[in-house]
Structure 1
């Protein structure tokens, strides 16, 4: 119990509190959106789910297919990814330092996979410093992006301020670039928006079923 209290007195704990505060604002935003426009709330939730499960490009594609205002789409996705970074980054720091506060199995497994990715890319990013970390965040390759990028920033010796400033700045740049690139397919996305949503939902369900089978049936 003392360890939990001391954690929130350190910088990592304060970063986590900031992330949880933004998460609270996210929940409030969804509730207010549901009160005034269920369609907007549904779009927000669809973008969030797609971003969490499939990544940035999927979330942005749904936003563009829903004809969301471009500036709102950019800000909302930046908001989502900032929350993920500010919550997962301090937890990763603790798990890396062998302070066992991560007991939730899926999250623990995610950190284990992330550590493998960190060890793989660490030498290259350390060589190029901030530019290397920015390119890592901009990359569309699996297990790259702001969350794992923040982990690497910590491992190569950046302080918290430098890591988060670099990661969040690169994230905003990446979102703007991807909105511009995906925007070239706007007509296609709008025309097939319903099929795209069904496709993402189907894949998400299949992934969930496969996870449950691996955990309870095939173990």
Structure 2
């Protein structure tokens, strides 16, 4: 198969591939917008970039706290954080499905996909009992391992339709962002402390995540 046909198979003839292409395009536009903002409001752009990395590491509450401490209004905080979650969830879903179906076979993605799938299997029976609402709550509530990335994988493994899966996951995500935004708004005077705690937590998660990834890659070689 030629490289052109291979790309067509992934990005045109495959629904997950089309989702990946669309979400990567949205991410590129997002990066361009942040780059433009950095030229005129570098401090705000810095806070928005920190918010993105907080979400990338699963820190919805951290992302909300960073935005509020930067002086962004609550509705703006919710909208911006939701935009980030949309981009991350769509990219993660597409990569997971393409790897799960063996359309893509990148070693790094395959290793991460296997461990996410193993974690998801631990929770799917509990969620299956409550159906769509169970997945919605799983994503919304601040539970260990819970969140949109794990939720979207569980929804896929439970064979939810794409509409059911994304509506539950994105609805739960929006609910969580609204709750965190107005919770932090009530303790606004302490947000400067929260911001430094958040930075420490993010750095800790990065270190732990790198050690986990190193361990997973070693296990893959065995």
Q: Give me the TM-score of the superposition, normalised by structure 1.
A: 0.85
The one of 50, 53, 58 aligned to 2:54: 50
Q: CA RMSD in A?
A: 2.7
* SS in structure 1 at match of 2:187: helix
Structure-to-structure mapping, 1:1-219, within 5 angstroms: 1=3, 2-8=5-11, 9-97=13-101, 99=102, 101-105=104-108, 107-190=109-192, 192=193, 195-196=196-197, 199-200=200-201, 202-203=203-204, 206-207=207-208, 210=211
After superposition, give the CA deviation of every residue in 1:28-70 in whole Å (9 maximum; x if it has no partner): 2211211220011101011111221251111112222222221
* SS in structure 2 at match of 1:129: helix
After superposition, give the CA deviation of every residue in 1:152-177 in whole Å (9 maximum; x if it has no partner): 11111212222122222221121111
Deviates more, 1:147-156 or 1:80-89: 147-156
Cα distance in 2, alignment partners of residues 215 and 118 from structure 1: 16
Would the alpha carbon gap of residues 22 and 116 (structure 1) be closer, same or farther in structure 2, given more than 3 Å must change? same
After superposition, give the CA deviation of every residue in 1:116-164 in whole Å (9 maximum; x if it has no partner): 1221111121221110010111122232211221111111121222212
Q: Is the 8 A contact 2:57 2:202 kept in 1?
A: no
Deviates more, 1:197-206 or 1:49-58: 197-206
Cα distance in 1, alignment partners of residues 147 and 62 from structure 2: 14
Q: How many residues align?
A: 215
Deviates more, 1:198-207 or 1:71-80: 198-207
Query: Structure 2, unaligned stretches of length 5 or more?
Result: none
Q: Is the 8 A contact 1:50 1:200 kept in 2?
A: no
Would the alpha carbon gap of residues 11 and 71 (structure 1) be closer, same or farther in structure 2, given more than 3 Å must change? same
Would the alpha carbon gap of residues 128 and 208 (structure 1) be closer, same or farther in structure 2, given more than 3 Å must change? closer
Query: Structure 1, unaligned stretches of length 5 or more?
Result: none
Cα distance in 2, alignment partners of residues 146 and 207 from structure 1: 20
Q: Give me the TM-score of the superposition, normalised by structure 2.
A: 0.84
